[in-house]
Amino acid sequence: MFSKYKPTWMVEAIYQITPEQLKAMGIKAVLTDLDNTLIAWNNPEGTEELRLWLEEMTKAEIPVVVVSNNNHERVEKAIAPFNLTFEARALKPLSRGLKKAQAKLGLKNNEILMVGDQIMTDIRAANGAGIPNVLVKPIVDTDSWKTQINRFFEGHIMKHLAKKHPEMLWQEGLFENE
């Protein structure tokens, strides 16, 4: 019942995903959620870690595309300092935004990776699209009221998933399962 919310991997932070790990798995592009995955709402400039990570991805020629439910203006403004492409109004948990980003990249499902901090939107959307995905821990604990409600249900779903899949553990990088 909850399998559609099951992340393929759980990695503590997006910065722990390296170009080497991605290349070893044949992944050529990263789709990512914006809020609390890439940047914190209370630190819109992003961190030094983010800048370094994006630099590494650019050097490795791995495009990073932001797929966010926020509107065009908000996303454009938020990522302006980082020179990234994006899909706004992605309608996650629906797959539409992810599919649009994928079509622009022209890559197969197993050549891209979706990264996000919410199983009910990011992971659900990626699973619906058949795209491998990574759940990360939210950058900051505080959330909007809407996200707080989702977090309540997420906690419940995560408990069920953890019981059924004891192998589901937080990792410090992206490694093949088994």
**Footprint of Mg ion on this chain (CB under 5 A)?**
33, 35-36, 117
> At its nearest, how many Å lie between Mg ion and the CB of residue 65?
15
Shortest gap between Cβ of 144 and Mg ion (angstroms)?
10
Residue with tokens 């926020």: 70
- CA 98 – CA 61 distance, rounded (Å): 20
Nearer to Mg ion, 27 or 40 (CB): 40
Question: Shortest distance, CB of residue 177 to Mg ion, whole angstroms?
Answer: 24
Q: What are phi and psi of 141, to 5 degrees?
A: -75, -30
What does the alpha-carbon distance between residue 93 and residue 129 come to, in Å, rounded to a whole number? 10
Closest CB to Mg ion among residues 62, 115: 115
Give the nearer residue to Mg ion in terms of CB position, either 59 or 146. 146
- Separation of alpha carbons 124 and 118, rounded Å: 9
Alpha-carbon distance 85 to 164, whole Å? 37
Residue 177: exposure state from Cβ atoms within 10 A (0-12, 13-18, ≥19): exposed
Residue 111 CB, shortest distance to Mg ion, in Å, is 23
Q: How far is the CB of 13 from Mg ion (least distance, A)?
A: 13
Tokens of 91: 């309608």
Q: Which is nearer to Mg ion, 28 or 115 (CB)?
A: 115
The residue among 35 and 87 lying less far from Mg ion, judged by its C-beta, is 35
Nearest to 171 by CA among 19, 21, 68: 21
